[in-house]
């Protein structure tokens, strides 16, 4: 939706640009859209179409279109422009469809009159055709999985694609307690098939202060009518550091100490209790063994154990 609004804005800006630039000898068009190539021929002598030859020449003197005595003639038209043009006989504007970056350059409209002495140029208009491709909205990517905490360095990249011409500037704004701008180094790559640019930049951000949020936005300044493109803001929640850590450490130490003390007490008390219990049991076992004819091995084993423990108890 954002991109759509953008495009409408761009198109309306382009409409005003076209009117203004027709006199400035520059025509701008959007990549893969239609360029309106003017001729500005008023035909003051009211020649009939039968007497005229009209044609447009583009970059490298390639013929874009020819109207020969009222009929379209393809024989001189360069292969790149076959079926890509529409001539409006009312406005004398040549519509060039699906404009490519390679269409850029000096372009001239010629009008020739077929007189008794042959073809004579009676009008010509030259202008510069330039092509713009709006870069995509810049996108931020994280290059690592580190947690945001003091002492860490976080790496990001920001990239935007399918633009033309080269962008002017790329930069970051990082908001912590204050807002800081970091310039970005432009790294360009160009698509061989359509000549459009892909731009990327990297940011290494050392975390030096403790905040709750780190908000990072990337900006791309282009040469086209939409001058500043803005990425979505990346919000990174910081891992709580020192303040909270100390709150955890002190109670933590206390808990560990208390547990240790409790454990020590249990270790000291348990054998005592167990021993007194066993000693009591020893008495009972003795009575029991006397009363029954059960095998005595187990009882004796138990008895000797009880003795040892009770002797130990006596030692303490």
Task: Report the C-alpha gap between 306 and 68 in whole angstroms.
Answer: 125
Binding mask 185-214 for ligand NAG (x = CB under 6 A): -------------------x----x---x-
Sheet of 105-115: strands edge to edge?
26-30, 118-132, 105-115, 52-57, 63-68, 71-72
| 145 counts as binding ligand NAG under rule CB under 6 A | yes
Give min distance, CB of 171 to ligand NAG, in A.
16
| Beta bridge partner(s), residue 189 | 198
Output 235 or 292, the one with its CB closest to ligand NAG. 235
The count of C-alpha atoms lying within 13 angstroms of the C-alpha of 104, restricted to the half-sphere facing its C-beta, is 16
| 144 counts as binding ligand NAG under rule CB under 6 A | yes
Output 100 or 128, the one with its CB closest to ligand NAG. 100
Consecutive H or E run containing 225: none
**Under 8 Å between Cβ of 229 and 158:** no
Site stretch for ligand NAG (CB under 6 A), options 67-75, 76-84, 170-178, 262-270: 170-178
Give min distance, CB of 235 to ligand NAG, in A.
5
| 88 counts as binding ligand NAG under rule CB under 6 A | yes
Which of 84, 82, 30, 37 is CA-nearest to residue 56? 37
For residue 228 the two structure tokens come to 């500043």
Position of tokens 């002598």? 45
Site stretch for ligand NAG (CB under 6 A), options 90-98, 218-226, 256-264, 270-278: 90-98
Give min distance, CB of 204 to ligand NAG, in A.
4
Task: Report the C-alpha gap between 311 and 67 in whole angstroms.
Answer: 124
**Under 8 Å between Cβ of 74 and 84:** no
Give min distance, CB of 98 to ligand NAG, in A.
6
| 126 counts as binding ligand NAG under rule CB under 6 A | no
**Under 8 Å between Cβ of 28 and 17:** yes
| Beta bridge partner(s), residue 278 | none
Give min distance, CB of 24 to ligand NAG, in A.
21
Helices 242-291 and 297-315 cross at an angle (nearest 10°) of 130
| 235 counts as binding ligand NAG under rule CB under 6 A | yes
Output 43 or 223, the one with its CB closest to ligand NAG. 43
Site stretch for ligand NAG (CB under 6 A), options 87-95, 120-128, 245-253, 308-316: 87-95
| 181 counts as binding ligand NAG under rule CB under 6 A | no
Output 77 or 214, the one with its CB closest to ligand NAG. 214
Task: Report the C-alpha gap between 135 and 196 in whole angstroms.
Answer: 9
Site stretch for ligand NAG (CB under 6 A), options 51-59, 73-81, 171-179, 292-300: 171-179
Binding mask 7-46 for ligand NAG (x = CB under 6 A): -------------------------x-------------x
Task: Report the C-alpha gap between 50 and 69 in whole angstroms.
Answer: 4
On the question of a cis peptide bond just before residue 165, with omega within 30 degrees of 0, the verdict is yes
The footprint of ligand NAG (CB under 6 A) covers 32, 46, 48, 88, 90-91, 98, 143-145, 155, 175-178, 204, 209, 213, 215, 235
């Amino acid at each position: 939706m954002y991109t759509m609004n953008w495009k409408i804005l761009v198109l309306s800006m382009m409409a005003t640009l076209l009117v203004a630039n027709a006199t400035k000898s520059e025509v701008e068009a959007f990549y893969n859209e239609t360029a309106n190539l003017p001729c500005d021929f008023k035909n003051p002598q009211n020649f009939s179409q039968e007497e005229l030859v009209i044609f447009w020449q583009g970059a490298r003197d390639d013929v874009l279109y020819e109207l020969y005595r009222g009929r379209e003639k393809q024989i001189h038209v360069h292969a790149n422009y076959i079926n890509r043009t529409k001539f409006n006989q009312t406005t004398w504007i040549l519509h060039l469809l699906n404009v490519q970056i390679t269409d850029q350059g000096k372009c001239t409209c010629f009008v020739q009159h077929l007189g008794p002495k042959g073809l004579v140029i009676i009008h010509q208009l030259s202008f510069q055709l330039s092509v713009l491709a709006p870069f995509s909205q810049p996108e931020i990517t994280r290059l690592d999985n580190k947690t945001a905490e003091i002492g860490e360095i976080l790496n990001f990249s920001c990239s935007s694609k399918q633009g033309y011409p080269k962008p002017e500037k790329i930069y970051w704004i990082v908001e912590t307690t204050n807002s800081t701008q970091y310039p970005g180094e432009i790294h360009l790559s160009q698509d061989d098939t359509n000549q459009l640019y892909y731009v990327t930049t990297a940011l290494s951000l050392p975390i030096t202060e403790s905040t709750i949020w780190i908000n990072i936005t990337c900006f791309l300044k282009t040469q086209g009518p939409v001058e500043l493109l803005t990425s979505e803001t990346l919000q990174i929640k910081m891992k709580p550091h020192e303040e909270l850590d100390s709150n955890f450490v002190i109670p933590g130490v206390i808990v560990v100490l208390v547990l240790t003390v409790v454990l020590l007490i249990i270790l000291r008390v348990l054998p005592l209790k167990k021993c007194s219990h066993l000693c009591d049991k020893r008495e009972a076992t003795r009575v029991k063994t006397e009363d029954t004819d059960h095998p005595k091995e187990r009882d004796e084993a138990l008895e000797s154990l009880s003795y040892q423990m009770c002797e130990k108890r006596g030692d303490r």
